[in-house]
Amino acid sequence: MPPCHTKNFDIAILGTHPPYTIAARYEEQTGHGLFHHDALQPDWAETIQILGQIHTPPSERFILNVGGLLFDELMQGGIRDLWVEARAAMQSTHHLRLRLDLHSPAIAALPWETLADPRRRRTLAADRSIALVRTARDVDFVDRSRSLQSRLPAKILIVAAEEPDNIDATTEIERIRASLAPLIPGQIELDVLVGRFDIHSLRRRLQESRPDILHVISHGEADGLYLWENDELALFNASQLAATLSLVDSVKLVFLNACLAGQPDDTTPFASLAQRLLQTGIPAVIAMQFAVLDRAASEFAGFLYEALVSGPCPGAIDVAMSIARSSLYISDPDRIDYATPLLWLNAPDGMILNLASHSSIAEAPGDQTRRGVPSNEPAPPPSLRLEIEEKEQWFVQLPPSVRPVELRFDYAQRKKQVEKVLNFLRQDHATQQAAQPVNFKRVHERLEIFNAERYFIDTLLERLRRAEG
């Protein structure tokens, strides 16, 4: 099994008020339960306020208790059985991607990144093999996201607004530059914009650079970022920034190193800056749900890019996120810093950069060529698990239409897209069965499209079933 093999453990929390419905899925198995908490409840509102106090660390015990409460309420009955099975299936070469689809704003506002198994007395953040990500693909708010993976050389644009309180942007930029150094200039191109720039200057630089990754260093609020305007700092709201980024379809990842830019509103759907950016089609956004010290933010960025380049799964943003989170936890478990960054990932996997030449995936046992021993034999193509029969069984069980008129057209179009991709995959499967070569990259893209559309359709149908029941 390749070292970067990752399995998804999907949990959706549905409904508008408690008790909410939990729907879990792992390896085609499902589990259900009820969730009774949300951020509007006084106890949780107070807890979130305590966690967000930047100058008064809440203590490791307090954070573990918060995460343990969420864990026990989430992992109940059949869902816990699935979780135990998933953990048991993990080996040293496996990663588990825990994907949370949180429909209600009051649910999304809970501090899920603190999740901790109370029986183990261990936060999930300390486990580098578990990547906790959020998805936000509710059909009412988010269209299908663009492809996640970038073509090399990947372009990274770092923008840092000059700030009177002296945010240490220089240190953070140098840490990022050092982390990326092994890939510069062949695989990574780095561009930097620093100073008193306004939103129009940002737009022009984005259009000129057309980056794959945008890294923003600034002060922020839940619904915007501070940039310059008329020689003073001004808050540009989420709508303005989303409109700016919608003009540049090259961006696959936005890293908002700005306090509170990822904090969900507990009453209004998709009100935060991070969530608004997802609506533009950007498939991955990293943002902060609490205020964070400059030092911790800089350390996290350094850990993240180092893991993205030279970690166990080079190019995988979700795995890099889990490693950076774990590293920050080790640095100071009494602070909430490690649970402050959120990763919104609207993609079936987290592979953002194609760094196969630097990956341990390429170092299969017995592969003498990749160990530096010359060979005249071409390297065999990677194996592909198409699982055509399972995909066909899923497709034939889809209803011909859905009841809400406003969703009928979108459902029909997505179903048509799935059928088209499935036909291509059938051809690829036949080619593979005939022991003929296939275009690995093209087939991988088809699988990514199929899985993304499948998840979207499954989420929609589950939501409609809950509404009718």
Reported as a single tens digit per residue, the pLDDT across 318-353 is 999 999 999 999 988 999 999 999 999 988 788 888
Q: What is the mean pLDDT of residues 2-24?
A: 87
137 — pLDDT class (breaks 50, 70, 90) = low
* DSSP 3-state of 84: helix
Residue 34 has pLDDT above 90, yes or no: yes
Please choose, from the candidates 14, 186, 33, the residue with its C-alpha nearest in 3D space to the C-alpha of residue 106: 14
249-259 average pLDDT score: 89
Q: In whole angstroms, what is the distance from residue 440 CA to residue 448 CA?
A: 12
Q: Are residues 307 and 169 in the same domain?
A: yes
Q: Are 50 and 62 in contact (CB under 8 A)?
A: yes
pLDDT (average), residues 418-429:
88
Place of tokens 């991955």: 284
Q: Are residues 55 and 162 in the same domain?
A: no
- On whether both 351 and 398 belong to a single domain, the answer is no
Q: What's the one-letter identity of residue 344? A: W
Where among 82, 105, 135 does a domain terminate?
Answer: 135
pLDDT-based confidence at 178, cuts 50/70/90? confident
Which of the two residues, 21 and 368, has the higher pLDDT score?
Answer: 21
pLDDT at 378: 40
Instruction: Tell whether the model's pLDDT for residue 374 goes beyond 80.
Output: no
| CA atoms of 457 and 361, how far apart (whole Å) | 31
How many C-beta neighbours within 10 Å does residue 392 have? 13
Q: Residues 301, 396: one domain?
A: no
Are 89 and 177 in the same domain?
Answer: no
User: Do 130 and 172 lie in a common domain?
Assistant: no
**Biggest CA-to-CA distance, the chain:** 69
CA 450, 250, 245, 133 torsion-angle sign: positive
| Residues 103, 42 share a domain | yes
HEC string for 375-402: CCCCCCCCCCCCCHHHHHHHHHCCCCCC
Specify whether the CB–CB gap between 253 and 93 falls below 8 A.
Answer: no
For the stretch 431-437, contacts whose Cβ atoms lie closer than 8 Å and that sit 24 or more positions apart, written own/partner, are 432/384, 432/386, 437/381
Task: Tell me which range, 14-23, 177-186, 364-373, is most confidently predicted by mean pLDDT.
Answer: 14-23
Least confident of 97-106, 192-201, 222-231: 222-231
**Looking at the predicted structure, is the pLDDT value of residue 406 above 90?**
no
Rg (CA), the chain: 22
Q: Is-contact 143 136, C-beta < 8 A?
A: no
CATH code, 278 = 3.40.50.720
pLDDT band at 151 (very low <50, low <70, confident <90, very high): confident
Q: Are 77 and 179 within one domain?
A: no
Quick one: 355 and 462 in the same domain? no
Segment 307-325, tens digit of pLDDT: 888 888 888 999 999 999 9
Instruction: Assess contact for 225 and 235: CB atoms under 8 A.
Output: yes
Please give the torsion angle defined by the CA atoms of residues 39, 42, 46 and 49, in that order, rounded to the nearest 10 degrees: 40
Report whether pLDDT(109) > 90: yes
pLDDT, residue 181, reads 83
CB distance 315 to 353 below 8 Å: yes
Where residue 444 falls among pLDDT bands split at 50, 70, 90?
confident
Are 130 and 159 in a shared domain?
no
Rounded to an integer, what distance in angstroms lies between the CA atom of residue 83 and that of residue 33?
Answer: 13
Q: Is residue 60 part of a domain?
A: yes
**Residue at 23 is within a domain:** yes
244's enclosing H/E stretch is helix 238-246
Instruction: Match 């995936």 to its residue by tokens.
Output: 361
Q: What is the pLDDT of residue 384?
A: 61
The one-character DSSP state at 121 is T
Q: Which residues span the domain enclosing 431?
A: 385-468
Q: Cα separation of 183 and 24, whole Å?
A: 39
Distance of alpha carbon 153 from alpha carbon 73, whole angstroms: 44
| Residue 208, pLDDT score | 94
Give residue 60's pLDDT. Answer: 92
The pLDDT, as a whole number, for residue 361 is: 34
Distance CA 144, CA 459 (A): 13
Q: Is 59 left (phi over 0), alpha (psi -120 to 50) or beta?
A: left
Q: For the stretch 135-165, what's the b/e string if a residue is b when 16 or more beta carbons lie within 10 angstroms of its beta carbon?
A: bbbbbeebebbeebbbebbbbbbbbbbebee
The pLDDT, as a whole number, for residue 54 is 82
Kindly state whether residue 336 falls inside one of the protein's structural domains. no
Closest CA to 197 of 245, 241, 230: 230
d(CA 126, CA 325): 7
Same domain for 105 and 195, yes or no, is no
* Rounded Cα gap, residues 299 and 179, in angstroms: 11
**Averaged pLDDT, 101-114:** 93
Contact status, residue 241 vs residue 256, Cβ threshold 8 Å: no
pLDDT at 368: 36
Total number of domains in the chain: 3
What pLDDT is stored for residue 264 in this prediction? 74
Residue 14 lies in a domain: yes
Q: What is the mean pLDDT of residues 197-209?
A: 93
> What is the Cα–Cα distance from 58 to 51, expressed in whole angstroms?
6
Q: Express as a percent the part of the chain with pLDDT over 70.
A: 87
Give 228's strand partners.
233
What is the rounded average pLDDT of the residues 123-145?
Answer: 79
Beta bridge mates, 169: none
Residues 399/402/403/409 CA torsion (nearest 10 deg): -150
32 contacts: CB under 8 Å, gap ≥ 6: 21, 22, 23, 24, 77, 78, 79
Asked if residue 159 and residue 127 are part of one domain, the reply reads no
* Residue 199 reports pLDDT greater than 80: yes
pLDDT-wise least confident of 25-34, 39-48, 138-147, 414-423: 138-147
Instruction: Give residue 380's pLDDT band: very low, low, confident or very high (50, 70, 90).
Output: very low
Let me know if residue 335 belongs to a domain: no
Domain-embedded: residue 44: yes
Structure confidence by residue, pLDDT tens digits, 263-294: 777 777 667 788 888 888 888 999 998 888 88
Range from 163-172, 207-216, 297-306 that averages highest in pLDDT: 207-216
Mean pLDDT of the chain: 83
Could you tell me if residue 198 is inside a domain? yes
Q: How many CB atoms lie within 10 A of CB 43?
A: 9
Residue 340 lies in a domain: no
